[in-house]
Amino acid sequence: MPDDEPSLSHLPDDDPRRAAARHREMVRLRAEVLARHQDDPAVREWLRRFRDDGKGFLESYADSRTNSLTAGRNQLEYEQGLDRELAREAKHRLREIQQRKLFAEQVRWRAGETTAADAYVRTAADFQQWGYKIKKCHWLPRITPAEVADYLAYLASPYCSDADPEAMQTDDFQDYDAFRRYLLLRGDGYDPAGVHRRFRPGRLAGEALLYPGWYAWCDQRDGPPNLVLARPNLRGFANGPDDDDADEGDEDPAGIFRPTPPPAPPPAPEPAAPAPPPWLGYPDYAGLIAILMREQETSELRRYHQACLPPPAEPAAPEVAEAERLLNDAGHEAGRRLAEIPERLPIAAAGDWREALHLTWLNHRKQGLAAAIHTAFATHQARQPGR
Amino acid sequence: MATDYHLDAAEKEEQFAQQQRDFEHELRTDPRYQPYLAGYAPASVEAFIKHYAAHKVNCLRNGPDMVKFRLHQAIEYQEEAYERLFDIQQKKLFDLQVRWRAGEISLPGVAVCQQFMTWEMHIHACPWLPPITPAEYALYCDYLASPACQDVGHHPDHHRPYDWQGYDNMREDWRRTQPNPPADEHLECTPYPAWYAYHDARTGAPAGYPFATHPNRKGERQEHYMHLAREDKWATEGRPAPFVPDPRPLHYEHGSENSFADPPDAYLELIARPFEAFARTFDPDPEPLAAYHRAWLRQQNAHYSHYMQKTESSRELLWDAKGPWPVAAHADWRQGIVGAAQELHRALLLAALPAVFDDYEFRLATGLAPAAPDQYRAYHDAAKPDDDPAEDCAVPEYLERYILRGRELAGEPRDFNY
């Protein structure tokens, strides 16, 4: 049962026509309930169990039923969507375990060691292709329960900084060059525990994760020497996009070996096309609205307009304003989500309540993810052939 | 009625929709708008027209309330601080009440206990209450800054006292802590306000003040005369039939939680039960309905759970920090947020108090009457006629009748000099 006319679905959510249709639908649903039950003697008999013969029960039932069929149904679908999202993410996270194994193969392959990859890989770029199809990478050892347990330990640790669905997540787990560059930039004082770049979650950090948190966790777990830094990239140079040899062959800055191109013909005079009219874009709206309000509208409307604008704030530096905006968003979102979770969850001491609230919510989401990973692993095991 | 509300709302929305269409038409055709829109790509102008028309409707819809809100927002904490300034006066009035009840003093125009409750409402205009002194003000600031003051922010267990002069209820509450407490469980009790206790401790009030140190002579005598008059009335008119409660349960349940320790969704089961029982018996399609209902209750938890409601208003309050504000660790995030909001509110009130006390002193120095807390609010109904404190605080007619009749029945003179 829709809470909206389908014919109005092209309008924005807050369009008055949609709002009116929603109210009419509420009236219809309410009347439907009252008409069905009001004169039913069985209902009257049933209501006798309550004080004053259940006076007011039917009205309140009609209201609750109406709200359930509209807002309640939306809420349930929204909650189910979140659960589906969690299950999907759990499946993908399980594959990170395989990605790390593939990456280790890649590093060994590049160093010229004999690996299982030899039979399936001819160039370093093939690893990237296998990475994108990690589900089909049958030649890697299967995921073991011990590995899942280790992954869950990682998930609960601050190394896992992408549990916020808004966080930037890497899609390429086999980007050897980027990861090596990142690790080299850590310098001589390489500290495996310091590989993770951020303790703060993605939403509040504002910077893309350059090195997967899971890899950082594996590095600190295995300790020095580092998987990548301890091995040379012998086979990689002949293949990768940053191949030094290949670059050398192309370089001819002086143009000595290049044949002189024939002089370009003089450009034909183009017919003067009229410049397209300027576009009145969204960034211009606020300015034009202010002008129209000042010059064309009544003083009453102008007063309302000014009251509806956000109150003037002291101008902050763009990065400060952006950090505040992110914190506000995080605080709003976490508070809203937490309010819907009927559990007592702990909050940590923090200099800013918005961040603390965000972390409370994030930890709860991590717990949900861990449960979903357990389920996904059980499904994964059940689907393995030969079991 | 919900139906009327939705019908009204639908009509209002349809009016707004019509207005929006009219605005769009006006923007497309009225020559006075055309110079502003000329020269732009037509498709972008059309998008702007839709946006601007929706914005104008939005201004008409929310503007009147937003104007009031912005006025209030600018001095929100001064308003509250000004109201709290009169907590000082409430304590002074209560101390006078204690002495009046003990028969130590008489007060101009005061003949019955109930008049203190009416003066409570007009505390700013009480002519025989001395004005607030800087020392009293400083003591109140100390109290507000101290952990003794818990009625800041939105703590679900600590609300602002609303019964400052409720001597009888406070006395009942005190009697519960004494040897041989009263057996009646339905007695109305009000805790002795924390501000009163702080004031007593700081000003060196004797131990047991006020209920153990001062007798309730006047109060008891008044009750005695009232009792005589009531008995007399019942003897002639017959006793009212005793109230027999209906043993059947109410069809709605409330008050499911008593503390933060209760499960946050305790309300859900209580409210869902009668709904689902009815739906399973009579609704043609009960199954998804019950799940939708529970989802709706989850979404509406701030409406049903007192503790969640106060958490939400605390979170709302925290935005007034307009930047970082610390929170302490807690096993329940709701209590962490409530505590952080309490500290913020305390700080904001302490910051606002000096200005309002200045204002109060200035009015006194220039011979102006202090404003009523309601009139101090940025948005108040200026058209509302001022009530006359002297008239409101006079002896209520029914009390006069009863007490004087009681005096008569006791064979005493028909006056209040007892």
Work out whether the CA dihedral B2, B4, B8, B14 comes out positive or negative. Answer: positive
pLDDT at B259: 86
pLDDT at A194: 45
Residue contact B326–A351, C-beta within 8 A: yes
B145 in contact with chain A, both atoms CB, cutoff 8 A: no
pLDDT at B157: 92
Chain B residue whose CA is closest to A67: B296
Residue contact B295–A27, C-beta within 8 A: no
pLDDT digits (tens, 9 = 90+) for B187-215: 788 999 999 999 999 999 999 999 999 99
pLDDT at B335: 96
The total number of residues shown for chain B amounts to 418
Residue A197 clears pLDDT 60, i.e. is over it: no
pLDDT digits (tens, 9 = 90+) for B316-367: 999 999 889 999 999 999 999 999 999 999 999 999 999 999 999 999 999 9
pLDDT at A258: 64
Residue contact A16–B327, C-beta within 8 A: no
Contacts of A360 in chain B (CB under 8 A): 333
CA–CA gap between residue B77 and residue B70 (Å, rounded): 13
Structure-block tokens of residue B320: 């007034």
A38 in contact with chain B, both atoms CB, cutoff 8 A: no
Using the CB atoms, write b or e for A353-375: b if 16+ within 10 Å: bbbbbbbbbbbbbbebbbebbee
- Residue B181 contacts residue B175 (beta carbons within 8 Å): yes
pLDDT at A313: 79
Closest of B383, B395, B397, B377 to residue B73, by C-alpha: B377
pLDDT at A189: 47
B107 in contact with chain A, both atoms CB, cutoff 8 A: no
Contacts of A43 in chain B (CB under 8 A): 282
Q: How many CB pairs under 8 A join A and B?
A: 250
Closest of A327, A328, A337 to residue A86, by C-alpha: A337
Residue contact B333–A47, C-beta within 8 A: no
Residue contact A311–B278, C-beta within 8 A: no
pLDDT at A173: 93
pLDDT digits (tens, 9 = 90+) for A65-74: 999 999 999 9
Contacts of A68 in chain B (CB under 8 A): 289, 292-293, 295-296
Contacts of B248 in chain A (CB under 8 A): 48-51
Residue contact A62–B2, C-beta within 8 A: yes
Q: At what angle do helices B286-299 and A57-67 cross, to 10 degrees?
A: 80
Could you say which residues from 310 to 349 on chain B have a Cβ atom under 8 Å away from some Cβ of chain A?
311-312, 315, 318, 321-334, 336-337, 340
pLDDT at B120: 95
pLDDT band at A259 (very low <50, low <70, confident <90, very high): low
Least confident of A27-36, A336-345, B2-11, B395-404: A336-345
Residue A265 clears pLDDT 90, i.e. is over it: no
Residue contact B337–A59, C-beta within 8 A: no
pLDDT at A290: 96
Residue contact B44–A280, C-beta within 8 A: yes
B280 in contact with chain A, both atoms CB, cutoff 8 A: no
Closest of A233, A88, A211 to residue A160, by C-alpha: A211
pLDDT band at B1 (very low <50, low <70, confident <90, very high): low
Residue with tokens 């389908």: A6
pLDDT band at A114 (very low <50, low <70, confident <90, very high): confident
How far apart are the CA of B26 and the nearest CA of chain A, in angstroms?
12
Residue contact A65–B283, C-beta within 8 A: yes
Distance set, CA A314 to CA A107, A183, A317, B205, B412 (Å): 52, 41, 10, 49, 73
**Pairwise pLDDT comparison (A164 vs B54), residue with the higher score:** B54
Residue contact A72–B295, C-beta within 8 A: yes
pLDDT digits (tens, 9 = 90+) for A201-211: 344 443 444 78
Backbone angles phi, psi at A180, to 5 degrees: -65, -45
Residue B255 clears pLDDT 90, i.e. is over it: no
pLDDT digits (tens, 9 = 90+) for A235-248: 876 544 455 544 45
pLDDT above 90 coverage of chain A, percent: 56
pLDDT digits (tens, 9 = 90+) for A136-145: 999 999 999 9
pLDDT above 70 coverage of chain A, percent: 84
Closest of B47, B45, B55 to residue B23, by C-alpha: B55
Contacts of B279 in chain A (CB under 8 A): 65
**Pairwise pLDDT comparison (A201 vs A329), residue with the higher score:** A329
CA–CA gap between residue A99 and residue A104 (Å, rounded): 9
**Pairwise pLDDT comparison (A346 vs B391), residue with the higher score:** A346
A283-310 mean pLDDT: 95
Q: Annotate B176-240 with DSSP letters as a single string.
A: HTSSS----TT----PPPHHHHHHHHHHTPPTTTTTTTS--HHHHHHHHHHHHHHHHHHHHH-PP
How far apart are the CA of B242 and the nearest CA of chain A, in angstroms?
18
Residue B252 clears pLDDT 90, i.e. is over it: no
pLDDT digits (tens, 9 = 90+) for B123-178: 999 999 999 999 999 999 999 999 999 999 999 999 999 899 999 999 999 998 88
pLDDT at B347: 97
- Residue B102 contacts residue B214 (beta carbons within 8 Å): yes
How far apart are the CA of B53 and the nearest CA of chain A, in angstroms?
10
Nearest to B67 among A60, A303, A352 (CB): A303
Percent helix, strand and coil across chain A, each to the nearest 5: 60, 0, 40
pLDDT at A253: 55
CA–CA gap between residue B202 and residue A261 (Å, rounded): 98
- Residue B180 contacts residue B229 (beta carbons within 8 Å): no
How far apart are the CA of B264 and the nearest CA of chain A, in angstroms?
5
Average pLDDT for chain B: 92
Average pLDDT for chain A: 85
Q: What is the DSSP letter of A347?
A: B
Residue contact A73–B295, C-beta within 8 A: yes
pLDDT at A66: 95
B47-69 mean pLDDT: 96
Closest of B351, B350, B355, B358 to residue B145, by C-alpha: B350
The total number of residues shown for chain A amounts to 387
CA–CA gap between residue A100 and residue A212 (Å, rounded): 10
pLDDT at A196: 41
A274 in contact with chain B, both atoms CB, cutoff 8 A: no
pLDDT above 90 coverage of chain B, percent: 77
Could you say which residues from 7 to 36 on chain B have a Cβ atom under 8 Å away from some Cβ of chain A?
7, 9-11, 13-14, 16-17, 20, 32-33, 36
Residue with tokens 């409570």: B120
pLDDT band at A296 (very low <50, low <70, confident <90, very high): very high
B7-28 mean pLDDT: 96
pLDDT digits (tens, 9 = 90+) for A268-295: 777 778 888 999 999 999 999 999 999 9
- Is the previous residue joined to B324 through a cis bond, with omega within 30 degrees of 0? no
- Residue A220 contacts residue A157 (beta carbons within 8 Å): no
pLDDT at A209: 45
pLDDT band at B389 (very low <50, low <70, confident <90, very high): confident
